[in-house]
Amino acid sequence: MMFNRLNNLLFGSLRKQLMVGMVLVISLMMGLFVWGMISRQQDEEIKSHTLQVSALAESTATSSAVWVASRDYSGLQEIVLGIAHYPQLNYIIVLDLHGQVLAHNDSSKIGLYLTDMPQKNEQTVVNRTSNLVEAISPISLSGQQVGWVRLGINRGHFQEEIALIRRDGLVLTLIGIVLSVLAAFFAGRILTRRLSAIQQVADRVEAGQSLARVALVGEDEAARLAKQFNRMLDSLSQREVAIKESEERFRSIFEHSSSVMLLIDPSSGKIVEGNAAAISYYGYAREHLTSLTINEINTLPAEQVAEERQRALHEERNYFIFQHRLALGEIRDVEVYSTPIESGGRRLLFSIVHDVTQRKLAEIALRKSEGKLNAVLQTMVDGLVTIDTAGVITFANQAAQNILSISKEAISGKYFQSQEFRQVGENGAPFPQEQLPLAIALREQREVSNVVHAIVTPDNKFKWLSVNAAPLFDEDGNLAGGIATFIDITERKKTEEEIRANEERMRIFFDNVPLGIFSSTREGKLVYVNPALPKMLGYESQEDLVEVVNRTSVAETLYVDPPLRQELMQELDKDYSHWKTIENRYFCKDGQIIDAIVSIGERQDSITGETIFDGIVTDITERKKLEEVQNFLAKTTSVHLGESFLKIWLAICRRVWACSMSVLIVSKAMV
């Protein structure tokens, strides 16, 4: 308060400032000048005094040395009294080394002691009092100190001279200040007369006369200032119009926007204004809405809402998710964008409110869906891997990790063509990288199915996979990556290998066994014959036999007694689990007839379901001939011997048949 009053008194107007400035400059310069002069005078005087005092002390010490050394105190006193007439000399004392006064201009002091004797054997000059300079000089004779001289010079007259100079300087300074004040006053009056015209216009503009302008002629600084001032007023007017237009634009946008907009006082939270959309959205009348605070709409605690407002005010944050309560009590999720604006000279928060309730519901549904999908992906038996366009693995489900015997951390973020994943083809050679299903899917943007290759697991085992891959596209149809599903076919591959081996063994057996083996349909068409059968029947090859027989049927082509086959089938139909063994007679290709024992069984084809008859043919033509010979001989020699031979032969045939049947059953089962 005090400072303000003093400030106003000294600097309240340009004229006062000018006067104060002049006073400061003059007083400073004069003060420095007087101070400098006095200081210099003092320095010179002190230097002169010091020299005088030093010289006098040294001279006295020199002249008194002999007297001190000789203890001629009367002569010493004469010397001292001779010097005592020196102008301004206050005292002169000659002392011995113990401080005893040997001679003094005041003879009553002789014999006394001075208590403050110097410690060093050297000349010193000190200001003993404000008006007294003292010089102390050692008295030496032939380098041996024998005493001291102390003399004091009064410089009171000099102080008086200095005081006089100071007084004169002060008077001159005051005169200078007075003159400078007068000069500043008149100069200020001349200078500020034209400035006051500008001031008056400024006052009128402030009072609302925005079109008022300064009319100063001339080219001096005031006139130039007036022109610049007028230009500034013009600029301000234009800016004011622009601001008004801007405010109107804002007002229009605010009012007509379909978005919910609010103006909120950041300190109290009071809703200063809401647009038509806000009134419609919240369901309050305009007057009611502007009587509320945002705390009554926002479901968060008032303190938290106030904190968020301050964050928005300080532009630390401008995006918020709140829940707002509508007039009817319905709670809605809203997204709020708040930014501080200046309006009517105060700061307000301009908030745009978007209802995101539906979006949030959709998000929840999406999250649920994603959860399900994720559950499916994680629980499906097939392995599933996705990659981005760069080939980096972005997802691998649990089955993929299990099949590949690799952890999620070890697979995620890796390139699917990484060296860590060693793929091997069915031929045992490394699988070409460019032929990997995902590589094809990415490169050619097409689906790839049932590609089989192995991947070498970390424990160096082959995992055989059957892989499908397809490209993934984003919503714009651009390639976004790829997806691959795969199953572990290692066990299947193993089984197939075993079957293949068994079949090969059976083929070798069938090709080399000396019995004819065939398979035929119910209609009598040959499905299979082994190499021994055409050989047995005189055909050139298996194909030749099949081709000839299948022109008609087995019964018609080969059977000597065609109806026998029908009877045989009927018996087998009755009990298809047991094979039938009969003797039969067959036509060879050349028309000859052979005797054979045929064992036939019935079965269903595992693929077609068709009834198939498998048979084993043993050529017994020679045996029959032999039997005939035996019969002939038996008739003539021993019937018993023939019977025994027949029994042995039949036993052999039964064993061959049993063996063939077991092989056939195994082979069929494998098929």
Partner 1 sequence: MFRLISLCYLFIAFALAACEQQPTDKPLQYSNAPTGTQTPVNRLVPHPLYNPQKLSETFQPLVDYLNRQVPAANLQLETSRDYQAFEKKFRAREGEFLMPNPWQTLEAQKVGYHVISMWGDAADFKGIFIVRKDSGIKVPADLKGKVVSYPSPTALAAAIMPQYFLHKNGIDINKDIQNNYVGSQESSIMNVYLGQSIAGATWQPPWRLFQKGHPAEAAQLKVIWETPSLINNSVMVREDVPQAIRDGVRQALLDLPTTPEGRKILDRMETARFHAADDASYEIVRDYIKRFEKEVRLVERK
Name the residues that contact partner 1, by CB under 8 A.
6-7, 10-11, 20-21, 24, 27-28, 31, 65-67, 69-72, 75, 91, 98-101, 109, 112-117, 126-130, 141-144, 150, 152
17 or 259: CB nearest partner 1? 17
Smallest distance from the beta carbon of 68 to partner 1, in angstroms? 9
DSSP sequence for 18-83: HHHHHHHHHHHHHHHHHHHHHHHHHHHHHHHHHHHHHHHHHHHHHHHHHHHHHT-HHHHHHHHHHH
128 or 493: CB nearest partner 1? 128
3-state secondary structure of 443: helix
Smallest distance from the beta carbon of 202 to partner 1, in angstroms? 21
Residue 571: enclosing H or E segment and its boundaries? helix 563-574
105 or 542: CB nearest partner 1? 105
Beta carbons of 136 and 56 less than 8 angstroms apart? no
142 or 460: CB nearest partner 1? 142
DSSP sequence for 609-668: --EEEEEEEEE-HHHHHHHHHHHHHHHHS-HHHHHHHHHHHHHHHHHHHHHHHHHHHHHH
3-state secondary structure of 473: strand
Q: How far apart are CA 584 and CA 618, in angstroms?
A: 10
Smallest distance from the beta carbon of 152 to partner 1, in angstroms? 8
Whole-angstrom CA distances from 528 to 172, 511, 517, 537, 549 are 147, 12, 8, 15, 11
65 or 617: CB nearest partner 1? 65
117 or 671: CB nearest partner 1? 117
129 or 662: CB nearest partner 1? 129
150 or 309: CB nearest partner 1? 150
Q: How far apart are CA 287 and CA 275, in angstroms?
A: 12
Smallest distance from the beta carbon of 46 to partner 1, in angstroms? 11
Amino acid in position 388: D
110 or 548: CB nearest partner 1? 110
Q: Which of 240, 260, 422 is nearest to 326 (CA)?
A: 260
5 or 354: CB nearest partner 1? 5
72 or 265: CB nearest partner 1? 72
Smallest distance from the beta carbon of 140 to partner 1, in angstroms? 9
95 or 201: CB nearest partner 1? 95
Pairing of strands 271-274, 260-264: antiparallel
Residue 99: other Cβ atoms inside 10 A: 17
Smallest distance from the beta carbon of 259 to partner 1, in angstroms? 48
As a whole number of Å, the CA-based R_g of the chain is 66
Smallest distance from the beta carbon of 221 to partner 1, in angstroms? 20
DSSP state of 586: E
31 or 340: CB nearest partner 1? 31
Q: How far apart are CA 417 and CA 392, in angstroms?
A: 9
Q: Which of 408, 292, 426, 271 is nearest to 338 (CA)?
A: 271
3-state secondary structure of 200: helix
Q: How far apart are CA 394 and CA 390, in angstroms?
A: 10
142 or 419: CB nearest partner 1? 142
Smallest distance from the beta carbon of 45 to partner 1, in angstroms? 14
Smallest distance from the beta carbon of 9 to partner 1, in angstroms? 11
DSSP sequence for 127-161: EEETTEEEEEEEEEETTEEEEEEEEEEE-HHHHHH
Beta carbons of 528 and 519 less than 8 angstroms apart? yes
Smallest distance from the beta carbon of 24 to partner 1, in angstroms? 6
Beta carbons of 451 and 474 less than 8 angstroms apart? no
Conformational region of residue 343, where left means phi above 0, alpha means psi within -120 to 50, and beta covers everything else: beta
Smallest distance from the beta carbon of 133 to partner 1, in angstroms? 10
7 or 209: CB nearest partner 1? 7
Smallest distance from the beta carbon of 136 to partner 1, in angstroms? 11
Smallest distance from the beta carbon of 169 to partner 1, in angstroms? 10
Smallest distance from the beta carbon of 181 to partner 1, in angstroms? 14
Residue 636: other Cβ atoms inside 10 A: 8
Query: How many CA atoms are closer than 13 Å to the CA of 598, on its beta-carbon side?
Result: 22
Name the token pair of 8: 């106003």
127 or 379: CB nearest partner 1? 127
3-state secondary structure of 257: coil
Sheet hosting strand 89-96, strand order edge to edge: 101-104, 89-96, 144-154, 132-141, 124-129
Angle at 471 (CA atoms; ends 466, 475), nearest 5 degrees: 145
Smallest distance from the beta carbon of 298 to partner 1, in angstroms? 46
Residue 506: enclosing H or E segment and its boundaries? helix 490-512
12 or 301: CB nearest partner 1? 12
DSSP sequence for 347-378: EEEEEEEEE-HHHHHHHHHHHHHHHHHHHHHH
For the chain, give the longest Cα–Cα distance: 206
Smallest distance from the beta carbon of 158 to partner 1, in angstroms? 13
Q: How far apart are CA 518 and CA 584, in angstroms?
A: 15
Beta carbons of 41 and 107 less than 8 angstroms apart? no
Name the token pair of 239: 């800016």
Smallest distance from the beta carbon of 74 to partner 1, in angstroms? 10
